[in-house]
Amino acid sequence: MTKLVQVVSGPLEGISSVIGEGEPLSLGRSSHNHMVLAYDPWISSSHGVLKLIGDNAHYMDMNSSNGSFVAGKKIAANKYVAVKDFLVLGSTVLRISNGSKWLQGRPHRLESTDLRGLAQHPLIKLAAEQALFRQSPIIGTIHLFLALLDSDRPEIVRFLKSLNFDVAKLRHRIEKLLIFEGKNRWINDFLVYQYKINKNSDTLVTPMVQDLMERIMRMGESEWLPHLKVILSENFNLLFPLMGIDDEDDQEDDPLELTDKVTLNPFDSEHKEIILPARFWRHFDVALHKSRVVMITGRRGSGKTTILKQCFHALPKVDIALFKSGEKRIYDPRLFSLFNSMEAFEGYYQQIEADLHGEKTIGIDHFDQLLKLMESVGMEVDPLMTLIKQRPAPTILALHSKLLPPLQHLFQNITLIHLDDYLGKVKRDILYNLIEIFERDTKYRLDDEARKFLRNQLLRRSNFMAVESFFDFCRIRLENLSFLYSELNLAAQRGRRTISVLFFQEMLDEWENARFGAELNVTQSVDVNATGKHRAVTERFPSYRNGEGGLVLRLERAMRKFLEKHFTKVMVTTTFDSMKELEGSDREYAVKERIRLLLECIDEAFVHWHRGYSKDMSPDSIANSVAIEDDAEVLWSEYSYRFQMMDEAFLSEKFFDEFGRVFLHRLQEIN
């Protein structure tokens, strides 16, 4: 059993390697790797390893600087993850498929002697013009396809229209690098970055294009259709997803029906997304040229820290020249205060002051925390502000927007950038993108009132993962309804498949109840004796009328979900069965007792878990295990090995094992 690993983007488009059983494949920029990806500056020297586990490919990121992405998510380092189709390293896209190696080469300069004959072909000349026009130094398959569109445009347009392709939309997709659709749409942004970072002065021809052109030239001056079939050959390239060709899944819909919308792609962290419009980066760049001091403000979670991380990274992910050249340094006073005592602050501040006197570009995150630390030790703030304003090198500060008014007097003549001004439109774009996906998947349209309702209700939630789950919930309910009830098909017979606002109003209530428990939205103004269901709740929780019983009810349900998620239903039964006969205030007391016990056990379990973790990772423990106390290299190697073994899943499992033991022991006492 083997798997083919093929590069499908950038200068190395087309080269491939094979993973065999018991033959792991290392990938990275360094020449010692099995698959050398030297043209992508985002790729680390030893970026990752692919290997076969059973019949499936699995990939492990080797703690690379810019990470690896599978299924649209940045994966954790030092842990193998299954890869079904596409894998992104840095900004290079690879495809995993069945087969054996069929193309191996390297990019050549168009003017080189190796490509002397190929460079004279009319098709490659047109492709070179396309690449030059799009300011791309790489002639790839998309440029070759655009060249073919231009060379025999009437016939090709007629042919593609016969296949129900909108050629204008197809060209737009190519030019905007919206190559992938559906579940692989997240890859598009990496293609954009791949084109931005490859700034070679010479025009390079990818191995894929070299191979395709050699085959076209062997065919002689034949008509355009054989050329098109060669470019869209059975061997995978970027045009497969562009043309809706999928050798594994049947696609019923035209993949070109989707328009250009915001794509949800996490770049900086698997936990944190930052989605800002291009105009923010333009305004930020202009502000840095106009004023040497820029203050970024915004609400908590708006992305201030993430922006600074991207700008001050060793390989910055932002297209601003200032951060790609020259020395730079970033400080985070809040991080300092978490891990250091105040005795160390004087030395920390002196380091900041020394850098501010120098030529480096300086960034200070959580600037308000620095001011608080200075005030706590009796230091004056004005000299620091004067130094920042007068230094010739750029300084970028970040501050929570609610802290800006009381400190406004300090920031006169400093350019302010309010992140909140840029996030509103992005949120709307994301919501509309989710709505379009929902409409495409369900074959229903939303009326204007429904769109307005969703905009008002859902845009207040910054958690778009939750919003996605809401649309999934609606999709499932709609499928069940359309299967059971003929009423939903009447609209289709009359040519109208529209969902009204009433559907989403009801779905939103059901969804919130499903997530947080029934009666979540019941308030004091509601007559809780109005229905038999509410009367039953009131009898079980007498204090429900004053709001306390409702809270206890929701906490009980939350506790049940917590125990079932991290343990089993047996744990839920053990916890609550002894109180199932209790009613009224007795039941409320029993629930409160178990909630109190849960919180106490979490605290106690953490103490035990941390003690065990410290024991395994303590210097004494490591020194005893390797029996070489004075060899620092051996000690560090052992520590690094142990640390890599303790990934998030391992530590989480150890903690919940400890918690379950403590909780069951304490539960016997109250039962």
Domain ranges of the chain: 2-98, 108-257, 278-418, 423-516, 554-670
Cβ-based burial of 81 (10 A; exposed 0-12, middle 13-18, buried ≥19): middle
Of the candidate ranges 335-339, 399-403, 421-425, the one whose mean pLDDT is the lowest: 421-425
Q: Does residue 331 have a pLDDT over 90?
A: yes
Structure tokens at 237: 């390239």
Q: Does residue 73 have a pLDDT over 60?
A: yes
Q: Where are the alpha helices (DSSP H) in 291-332?
A: 304-312, 321-324
Structure tokens at 163: 């296949």
pLDDT digits (tens, 9 = 90+) for 463-480: 566 777 788 888 877 876
Task: Report the pLDDT value the prediction gives residue 547, as an integer from 0 to 100.
Answer: 44
> Looking at residue 77, what DSSP letter applies?
B
207: which residues sit within 8 A by CB, 6+ positions away?
12, 13, 14, 15, 103, 104, 105, 106, 107
Looking at 3.40.50.300, 3.20.20.70, 3.40.830.10, 3.50.50.60, the CATH number of the domain 278-418 comes to 3.40.50.300
310-315 mean pLDDT: 79
Q: Does residue 333 have a pLDDT over 70?
A: yes
Task: Report the pLDDT value the prediction gives residue 465, as an integer from 0 to 100.
Answer: 63
Q: 82, 66, 91, 255: which is closest to 187 by C-alpha?
A: 91
Within 10 Å of residue 532's Cβ, how many Cβ atoms? Answer: 8
Q: Does residue 254 have a pLDDT over 50?
A: no
d(CA 258, CA 239): 17
Q: Strand, helix or coil at 246?
A: coil
pLDDT digits (tens, 9 = 90+) for 505-532: 888 877 776 654 433 333 333 343 444 4
- Specify the DSSP element, H or E, that contains 390: helix 382-390
d(CA 335, CA 196): 33
d(CA 6, CA 32): 19
What's the one-letter identity of residue 572? V
Task: Kindly report the length of the chain.
Answer: 671
- Average pLDDT, rounded, for the chain: 76
Confidence of residue 262 (pLDDT cuts 50, 70, 90): very low
135-158 mean pLDDT: 85
pLDDT digits (tens, 9 = 90+) for 21-60: 888 899 998 888 889 998 888 899 999 999 998 888 999 9
> Looking at residue 115, what DSSP letter applies?
G
Task: Report the pLDDT value the prediction gives residue 458, as an integer from 0 to 100.
Answer: 75
Task: Report the pLDDT value the prediction gives residue 446, as an integer from 0 to 100.
Answer: 86
Question: Are 451 and 505 spatial neighbours (Cβ–Cβ below 8 Å)?
Answer: no
Cα 155 to chain centroid, rounded: 42
Q: 108, 117, 146: which is closest to 129 by C-alpha?
A: 146
117 vs 287, more confident: 287
- Could you tell me which CATH class the domain 108-257 is placed in? mainly alpha
Of the candidate ranges 60-74, 86-100, 532-546, 561-575, the one whose mean pLDDT is the lowest: 532-546
Q: Which fold has domain 2-98?
A: Tumour Suppressor Smad4 (2.60.200)
Q: On the CB side of 537, how many CA atoms lie within 13 Å of its CA? A: 23
- Specify the DSSP element, H or E, that contains 619: helix 619-626
100 vs 231, more confident: 231
